Chain A
Amino acid sequence: MTPPGEGRPADAGPVNATTRPSALRVVLSGVAPLVLVGLMVWWFLLFGVNYVRLGPPPVEKLAIERVIFKPQEITLLVRNEGPGTLTVAQVLVNQAMWDFSITPGRELARLQSARISIPFDWTEGDPYNFDVITGTGIRHVRKVEVATATPSVSPRALGVFGLLGVYVGVIPVFLGLLWLPFLRSMPRSWMDFWISLTVGLLAFLAIDTFRESFEVMGRVPEFLNGLMLVALGAIGAFLALTGVDTIMRRRGGSRSAGPRGMALSLMIAIGIGLHNLGEGLAIGAAYTLGEVALGSFLILGFTLHNTTEGLAILSPLVQEKVSWRDLALLGLVGGGPTIVGTWTGAFTYSDPLSLVFLGIGGGAILQVISVLVRARAESGESAIEALAKPRNIAGLLVGFILMYLTGLLVAG
């Protein structure tokens, strides 16, 4: 029994209600600084700009983001990437002034985009260069190496690019999976070799993915911070897959060992699938951006290059029982995203999106590599010590070199 005047009545509610600030106060204390910042920005734009005039006008930057070829017409999608307003004055096609239409108008505010339509009889396969001259007389250029009709979403186009994805992504992965009987006939001690080969293979893919992202980064406007987009994708994918891995292990019951067998293969397949998403994107985009004549040699090169990926997925399964359904699932997970990639690349390609996809692909592969390396490490060993065994080094190098050689077939 509490003496009167001391302690609290029994029905006073939880102790925290009187010591912690109310929800309203929390919200206000968070919002108030934001409101002040907003007011300052508003005042500056309205009045303050006039006080801060420093030096000559900032350099203009107009990006020609996309070139779309339609029958007897070329469309340029442009964006003002500079810090000020600019005016589109003239458009040149191969150094000739040409009539054009522009929406929403000639004057573009910061980051605003416009659509320029040019009546022009273009020739399939020819190179073209475009200049957009702004009111200040500055030329902003874009080259197209190979003019190709831009595919519009139609059942036929979807079919063609879908088929491209199947040919380049799905079929090779399934073909790679056919190596399972061969791997099974190898001695058990070769398991290490296969896993290390997989690691080498994946390491190549990861490095290649990031290399490709550097190329795309060069095309992306600076304000979008291309490198950060890649980092976002990579870190996001890495953490997401780690989370998935942890959940799967908890559900599977085993806490200490990493994923084995089917689970590990699935992880590898996911990593490779995400990588292939980026690859399909690149292929579809390269075709419509007019950067590559999609010759049969190129497609063949991609096919061979991707067959080795099927091999990578197999390695954890050498000593396991696997059903056809499992194999089919692995093939689809590893190869299917290529189709999504080619569709996206062909119809709605955007450089920033491509960077995120490439980052995701790279990060996913890095996560799978880390799982594989830890799996190879015996108890008490560090990852480096595990990798340093001759069998593992051999496997790593073979996998890496295999990818390098097949990659040579994919020129450009």
Chain B
Amino acid sequence: MLSLLPDLSKAQRSAHASPTSDPMADAARKHAIRMLTEFNTGKVTRLKDGRVLREYWIDALNTEIEVAPGVRYAAWTFNGAVPGPTLRCTEGDSILVHFTNKASMPHSMHFHGIHAANMDGVFEQVPPGSSFDYAFTAKPFGLHVYHCHTMPVKMHIARGLYGVFLVDPKTPRPKAREMVMVMNGFDTDLNDEDNEFYTVNGFANVYFRDYPVPVKQGELQRVYLVNMTEFDLLNSMHTHATFFHVYPTGTSMTPTNYTDTISMGQGERAILEFRYDYPGRFLFHAHQNEFAELGWLGQFEVKP
């Protein structure tokens, strides 16, 4: 008799996954794992004067993502994920970013760097359906960010429109195993006041539960660390059982600090270099432990 009655839960169900398979969560995990070591160097061509031209294609999209197991979020993204793609180039390169707004609100791209006023992404807003080409020379070298600069900016950033813009020095840095870590928060109840979850690279606890980051014992590690957390004045990173050299903003080849904990305001970034002397599992997390307990927690699995 029960089968005659309509299944009420189906009649009202929105997109939902069973406990054992959750494609949205899998996609978020995969993105976070990929993002750790993925650098987008763009389409490279040579200009007449011999300089390198790098072209990137970036779309603004409305994307529903999963930010913590089971928790969905209607994000505004660059190229479908939060954080957006890491753009990498060398100082002096000519940069051309083809930006298309495929979302439902006006957006823009504001790069942290040195460039002309009309390429700043502030006064030139891109309405939905339109495109804009950002053209400038990559300078200065260092670790920078790009993000949307449409008012209210705190909302446009909080919704996920940011990514890393890495400009390598002409003389490359010493060889190291490189990782990108973007610290952020997600205000899932959209009250525009506080974050419910904190993550690195977009999915809560991904490097603690899903993918302990493999590290070779004794090998030089380089972390490009960026803070794009909205609503909280500070974020931080603390490594267990190792100390790192700090290159603030990456604009110098000389480190300014040797520590295991670094604090950053929003928009700040730094390059960290360290090695692990001992094998085993070592945590890394925000030293604001309230963030660590809401998803900003990871571990390195150090093997010989």
- Touch between chains A and B, by CB atoms below 8 Å: yes
Binding site for B on A (CB under 8 A): 42, 45-46, 49, 57, 84-85, 87-90, 92, 95-97, 105-107, 109-110, 133-139
Asked whether any CB of chain A lies closer than 8 Å to the CB of B152, the reply is no
Known: A89-B69, A90-B68. 18 other contacts (CB 8 A): A46-B6, A57-B14, A85-B13, A87-B16, A88-B70, A90-B70, A95-B290, A95-B293, A96-B294, A97-B197, A133-B188, A133-B196, A134-B71, A135-B16, A135-B70, A135-B71, A137-B71, A137-B196
Q: Cα distance A96–B205 when bound, in Å?
A: 12
Q: Cα distance A106–B13 when bound, in Å?
A: 13
With a cutoff of 8 Å between Cβ atoms, the chain A residues found around residue B19 in the complex are 105-106
With a cutoff of 8 Å between Cβ atoms, the chain A residues found around residue B11 in the complex are 45-46, 49
Could you write out 8 A-B pairs with CB less than 8 Å apart?
A42-B6, A45-B6, A46-B11, A85-B13, A95-B290, A97-B68, A133-B68, A137-B71
**Distance in Å from the Cβ of B224 to the closest Cβ of chain A?**
26
Known contacts: A96-B294, A137-B73, A137-B190. The answer to whether A107 contacts B12 by CB under 8 A is no
Q: Cα distance A42–B71 when bound, in Å?
A: 33
Residue from the list A49, A105, A137 in contact with B188, Cβ < 8 A? A137
Q: Cα distance A130–B245 when bound, in Å?
A: 39
Known contacts: A90-B70, A135-B71, A137-B189. The answer to whether A97 contacts B293 by CB under 8 A is yes
**Distance in Å from the Cβ of A37 to the closest Cβ of chain B?**
15
Task: Contact check, A109 vs B12: say whether CB atoms are below 8 A apart.
Answer: yes
With a cutoff of 8 Å between Cβ atoms, the chain B residues found around residue A46 in the complex are 6, 11
Asked whether any CB of chain A lies closer than 8 Å to the CB of B295, the reply is yes
Task: Contact check, B70 vs A87: say whether CB atoms are below 8 A apart.
Answer: yes
Q: Cα distance A87–B15 when bound, in Å?
A: 11
Q: Which 4 A-B pairs have the closest CB atoms?
A: A137-B188, A89-B70, A96-B293, A46-B6
With a cutoff of 8 Å between Cβ atoms, the chain A residues found around residue B293 in the complex are 95-97
Asked whether any CB of chain A lies closer than 8 Å to the CB of B1, the reply is no
Q: Cα distance A46–B10 when bound, in Å?
A: 10
With a cutoff of 8 Å between Cβ atoms, the chain A residues found around residue B6 in the complex are 42, 45-46
Binding site for A on B (CB under 8 A): 5-6, 8-9, 11-14, 16, 19, 67-73, 186, 188-190, 196-197, 204-205, 290, 293-295
Q: Which secondary structure dominates chain B's binding surface? A: loop
Task: Contact check, B188 vs A97: say whether CB atoms are below 8 A apart.
Answer: no
Task: Contact check, B196 vs A45: say whether CB atoms are below 8 A apart.
Answer: no
Task: Contact check, A138 vs B16: say whether CB atoms are below 8 A apart.
Answer: no
**Distance in Å from the Cβ of B231 to the closest Cβ of chain A?**
14
Known contacts: A89-B70, A95-B294. The answer to whether A138 contacts B12 by CB under 8 A is no
Q: Cα distance A138–B190 when bound, in Å?
A: 8
Task: Contact check, A92 vs B294: say whether CB atoms are below 8 A apart.
Answer: yes
Residue from the list B9, B12, B14, B71 in contact with A90, Cβ < 8 A? B71
With a cutoff of 8 Å between Cβ atoms, the chain A residues found around residue B13 in the complex are 85, 107
With a cutoff of 8 Å between Cβ atoms, the chain B residues found around residue A88 in the complex are 70
Q: Which secondary structure dominates chain A's binding surface? A: mixed
**Distance in Å from the Cβ of B148 to the closest Cβ of chain A?**
20
Task: Contact check, B8 vs A45: say whether CB atoms are below 8 A apart.
Answer: yes
**Distance in Å from the Cβ of B195 to the closest Cβ of chain A?**
11
Task: Contact check, B204 vs A107: say whether CB atoms are below 8 A apart.
Answer: no
**Distance in Å from the Cβ of A72 to the closest Cβ of chain B?**
18
Q: Cα distance A112–B210 when bound, in Å?
A: 31
Task: Contact check, B12 vs A85: say whether CB atoms are below 8 A apart.
Answer: yes
**Distance in Å from the Cβ of A254 to the closest Cβ of chain B?**
58
Q: Cα distance A137–B16 when bound, in Å?
A: 14
**Distance in Å from the Cβ of A109 to the closest Cβ of chain B?**
5
With a cutoff of 8 Å between Cβ atoms, the chain B residues found around residue A138 in the complex are 188-189
Known contacts: A42-B6, A137-B71. The answer to whether A107 contacts B205 by CB under 8 A is no
Closest to B70 in A: A89
Task: Contact check, B71 vs A109: say whether CB atoms are below 8 A apart.
Answer: no
Task: Contact check, A139 vs B68: say whether CB atoms are below 8 A apart.
Answer: no
Q: Cα distance A88–B196 when bound, in Å?
A: 15
Residue from the list A84, A107, A109, A136 in contact with B72, Cβ < 8 A? A136
Task: Contact check, A90 vs B290: say whether CB atoms are below 8 A apart.
Answer: no
Task: Contact check, B294 vs A97: say whether CB atoms are below 8 A apart.
Answer: yes
Q: Cα distance A110–B197 when bound, in Å?
A: 27
Q: Cα distance A87–B70 when bound, in Å?
A: 8
Task: Contact check, A97 vs B71: say whether CB atoms are below 8 A apart.
Answer: no
**Distance in Å from the Cβ of A58 to the closest Cβ of chain B?**
9
Residue from the list B8, B14, B294 in contact with A110, Cβ < 8 A? B8
Known contacts: A95-B290, A96-B293, A138-B189. The answer to whether A133 contacts B8 by CB under 8 A is no
**Distance in Å from the Cβ of A11 to the closest Cβ of chain B?**
48
With a cutoff of 8 Å between Cβ atoms, the chain B residues found around residue A105 in the complex are 19
With a cutoff of 8 Å between Cβ atoms, the chain B residues found around residue A106 in the complex are 19, 70
With a cutoff of 8 Å between Cβ atoms, the chain A residues found around residue B9 in the complex are 85, 107, 109
Q: Cα distance A89–B5 when bound, in Å?
A: 28
**Distance in Å from the Cβ of B155 to the closest Cβ of chain A?**
15
Task: Contact check, A137 vs B204: say whether CB atoms are below 8 A apart.
Answer: no
Closest to B205 in A: A97
**Distance in Å from the Cβ of B201 to the closest Cβ of chain A?**
17
Q: Cα distance A95–B196 when bound, in Å?
A: 9
**Distance in Å from the Cβ of A346 to the closest Cβ of chain B?**
33
Q: Cα distance A136–B290 when bound, in Å?
A: 22
**Distance in Å from the Cβ of B65 to the closest Cβ of chain A?**
11
**Distance in Å from the Cβ of B98 to the closest Cβ of chain A?**
32
With a cutoff of 8 Å between Cβ atoms, the chain A residues found around residue B67 in the complex are 137
With a cutoff of 8 Å between Cβ atoms, the chain B residues found around residue A87 in the complex are 16, 70
**Distance in Å from the Cβ of A134 to the closest Cβ of chain B?**
8
Task: Contact check, B196 vs A84: say whether CB atoms are below 8 A apart.
Answer: no
With a cutoff of 8 Å between Cβ atoms, the chain B residues found around residue A133 in the complex are 68, 71, 188, 196
With a cutoff of 8 Å between Cβ atoms, the chain A residues found around residue B196 in the complex are 133, 137, 139
Residue from the list B5, B72, B197, B295 in contact with A135, Cβ < 8 A? B72
Q: Cα distance A87–B11 when bound, in Å?
A: 15
